[in-house]
Amino acid sequence: MKIVNTDLLNEVTGKAQRSSRLRMNFNFHESLDAKAQRLLNAMEPGTIMPAHRHLNTRETYVLLRGSLKVMFYNDNCELTDTVLLDPKTGDFGIDIPEGQWHSIEVLESGTVIFEVKDGPYSPLTNDDILCLKADNKE
């Protein structure tokens, strides 16, 4: 059993702040082969999250603290929609359909989301990263 509390969020946030990537996961699933990938994702402003997609799973974010912008794109690398997640405005999470190009911008230090995807874990390929996909078309 693991309780999600301020101490855990602070622990993962501290690791994110010390990471060169400015983000850190805390996995609840026991292996990368698990049927559900459930994790905390602590992120700091400046972390790089390229526009990407997951062809075989939806992705759900529930914001636990902080704020972030979720951006959606079409196959032509054009921004099609933006959603601001911020508990102060009552917008706590989002469910992203499979195959939808998306990215995030972290707006506040100490931002942590609870993230869920279907497993097993599948690393992104070049075809799943929008900028690389667009560059390969030229």
Tens of pLDDT, residues 76-123:
999 999 999 999 999 999 999 999 999 999 999 999 999 999 988 888
Whole-number Å distance between alpha carbons of 100 and 51: 10
Report the percentage of the chain scoring pLDDT > 90: 80
What tens digit of pLDDT does each residue of 112-122 get? 999 999 988 88
Domains in the chain, CATH or no CATH each: 6-137 (2.60.120.10)
Do 47 and 106 form a contact (C-beta atoms < 8 A)? Answer: yes
Whole-number Å distance between alpha carbons of 113 and 92: 9
| Cβ-based neighbours of 82, under 8 Å, separated by 6 or more | 69, 70, 71, 72
Whole-number Å distance between alpha carbons of 66 and 63: 7
Three-state SS for 47?
A: coil
